[in-house]
Amino acid sequence: MCVVEVEGRRGFATSCIQKAEEGMVVHTNTEKVIEARKTVLDLILSNHERECLTCTRNGNCELQKLAEEFGLNDIKYEGSKNKHPIDDKSPSIVRDFNKCVLCRRCVSTCKKVQGISAIDCTERGFESCVSTFENESLNDVNCTFCGQCIQNCPVGALKEKDNTDIVEEKLKDKDTFVVVQTAPAVRVGIGEEFGMPIGTNAQGKMITALKKLGFDKVFDTNTGADFTIMEEATEFINRVKNNGVLPMTTSCCPAWIRFVEMNYPEFLDHVSSCKSPHEMFGAIIKSYYAQKHNIDPSKIFVVSVMPCVAKKFEITRDDMQGVENLNDVDVVITTRELARMIKRAHIEFTELEDSEYDSPIGEATGAAAIFGVTGGVMEAALRTAAEIMQGTPLKKIEFEEVRGQEGIKKATVKIAGKDVRVAVVSGLANARRVMEDLKNGKADYDFLEVMSCPGGCILGGGQPIKSSKTRSKVNVFKKRADSIYSIDEKSTIRKSHENPYLKEVYKEYLGEAGGHNAHKLLHTSYVKREKYRF
């Protein structure tokens, strides 16, 4: 689709690979160019599964948009079509090559941005396709389920595994107490699915929509993030004081955990044993909350709304069970899936009044809110770790040195008179660079935060998809990140250890942070995993 005419040359040039030269005259919109592009588009559509009305990308498909722009109403070159089986074995991602247009954006993202190479182009000519090693399922290769391939696919060839039917069935069951929790990044993304400006904090409308859908309680995963900081900061302090294994790395991102398990299993004892925020919160809901409100935990069904497709995999992991061996979280849906549920229920999202999260679990801090952006977990942990180690309040609680969109950020912060060397990484290709440096003795850190998605959860694989054109013009990261940091700045309480609800739960139920009861309910373990790659 990027063909152009260059004066003095026969045929067409492709603008994506043609190097500019002194004196070159390029025509981008001639009659010949337009006709050539229409022919290319027709050929693409001739081998495309044209189920637009039932496709998850209907209305947000770059191919659909091109067909409309070029007025392509009929297909001239109908002929043989390749037919490929749909790969839906993974709990996170569905791969349907019948809708692929061979643009290779997913391949480039997986290889260059994430450094994974779980997929590549195979075969030749008409048989060319994007596939995995020996055409195995994504479930059985070195895919981390980060979902960045979905974000960069212009059509519906890659999508999250949809769990909305499961949720809707549970909402109809009067014998089930259905609880929903929403991650920090979801509130600054979901409005975009309803035409609101990028980065709009639609928290109040989102809560109202969830209540209209019929959830019995609507809670904030930010509270779970506060629990995570209490446990993670305590774990870090104990490692520092007792000469434990350093650097300690964060454990909130399930794609990062899967990456380490497959690629650097010798570093698993460096990873914090803390469960991720929504898993911790699910465990608290089915134990302390259930006991407090006299609810049978087996009747509680916990739904997590996440910006992440890897969370769908995470809930299937061993050791993600709490009280009575019940799963901490029963099902995960993405920001996009929640938007589809709201639309199916004919709820006019933009017209809704704002609501608040249900109390008392709705209480959360500003530190928890910034979990959604790269550097946020590190900053939240440092706020708490510093005050606990120093025994005095911080004069300034912002740690700007760990903020920003850069893939690797390094800093040394002074805590209780000690220099603490930290690094913040987003994007798995960057994570590989850091891990290789650690492996080869070229780096020395005390604390390491890793998020698989470049920019963090606000740009997660389950967030609203922006077209390549939009991303070339708008800094989506900055708009969503500014909204996240604004939530923190406006919060009454901005440090996790000052959350009154947490204090109550630890006092009445868990005991001390990092203690036996907390460890049993809020911590997990990891395993070495096999992998295949190109």
pLDDT score of 81: 84
- Based on the domain organization, do 279 and 383 belong to the same domain? yes
Helical segments of 361-515, H only: 366-369, 376-390, 428-439, 468-473, 476-490, 500-505
Give the C-alpha separation, 165 to 517, whole Å. 35
Per-residue confidence (pLDDT) for residue 80, from 0 to 100 = 81
Phi, psi of 490 (to 5 degrees): -90, -5
- Look at residue 482 in the predicted model and tell me its pLDDT: 98
Residues 406-434 have pLDDT tens digits of 999 999 999 999 999 999 999 999 999 99
Pairing type for strands 217-220 and 248-249 reads unpaired
Statement to judge: residues 176 and 134 lie in one domain? no
Of 133, 160, 187, which marks where a domain is finished?
160
Concatenate the DSSP letters of all residues of 213-271 into one string.
Answer: HT-SEEEEHHHHHHHHHHHHHHHHHHHHHTT--SSEE----HHHHHHHHHH-GGGGGGB
Specify the pLDDT at position 532. 63
Q: Are residues 155 and 175 in the same domain?
A: no
CB-CB contact of 90 with 139 (8 Å): yes
How far, in Å, are 348, 379, 461 from residue 458 at the CA level?
24, 16, 9
Does residue 122 form part of some domain? yes
Domain that holds residue 59: 3-69
| HSE value, Cβ hemisphere, 13 Å, CA-based, for 317 | 25
Q: Is residue 379 part of a domain?
A: yes
* Domain membership flag for residue 304: yes
CATH of the domain at 228: 3.40.50.1780
Identify whether 532 is part of a domain: no
330/381 same-domain check: yes
How confident is the model over 306-362, as pLDDT tens digits?
Answer: 999 999 999 999 999 988 999 999 999 999 999 999 999 999 999 999 999 998 887
The verdict on 22 and 139 lying in the same domain is no
- Among 17, 36, 69, give the residue marking a domain's end: 69
Mark whether 345 and 452 lie in a shared domain. Answer: yes
* Number of separate domains in the chain: 3
Which tokens belong to 16?
């994506």
Structural domain includes residue 530 = no
| Residue 124 belongs to a domain | yes
Is 531 a member of any domain?
no
What digits encode the pLDDT tens for the residues 65-124? 999 999 988 888 887 888 999 999 999 999 999 999 999 999 999 999 999 999 999 999
> Could you report the per-residue pLDDT of 189-221, keeping only the tens digit for each?
999 999 999 999 999 999 999 999 999 999 999
- Same domain membership, residue 459 and residue 340: yes
- On whether both 216 and 303 belong to a single domain, the answer is yes
Q: Taking residues 507-527, what's their average pLDDT?
A: 96
- Of 123, 141, 160, which one is at a domain's C-terminal end? 160
Do 312 and 160 meet the contact criterion of CB atoms below 8 Å apart?
A: yes
One domain, residues 31 and 135: no
Pair 283, 334 in one domain: yes
Residue 293 and residue 324 share a domain: yes
Q: β-strands 418-426, 217-220: how paired? A: unpaired
User: Above 80 in pLDDT, residue 504?
Assistant: yes
pLDDT classification of 126: cutoffs 50, 70, 90? confident
Same domain, 31 and 176: no
3-state SS track over 436-457: HHHHCCCCCCCEEEEECCCCCH
Query: What distances in angstroms separate CA 284 from CA 58, 281, 373, 458, 510, one per listed residue?
Result: 39, 5, 24, 25, 10
Share of the chain above pLDDT 70, in %: 99
pLDDT value of residue 77: 84
Across all residues in the chain, what is the average pLDDT? 95
How do residues 231-275 score in pLDDT, each as one tens digit? 999 999 999 999 999 999 999 999 999 999 999 999 999 999 999
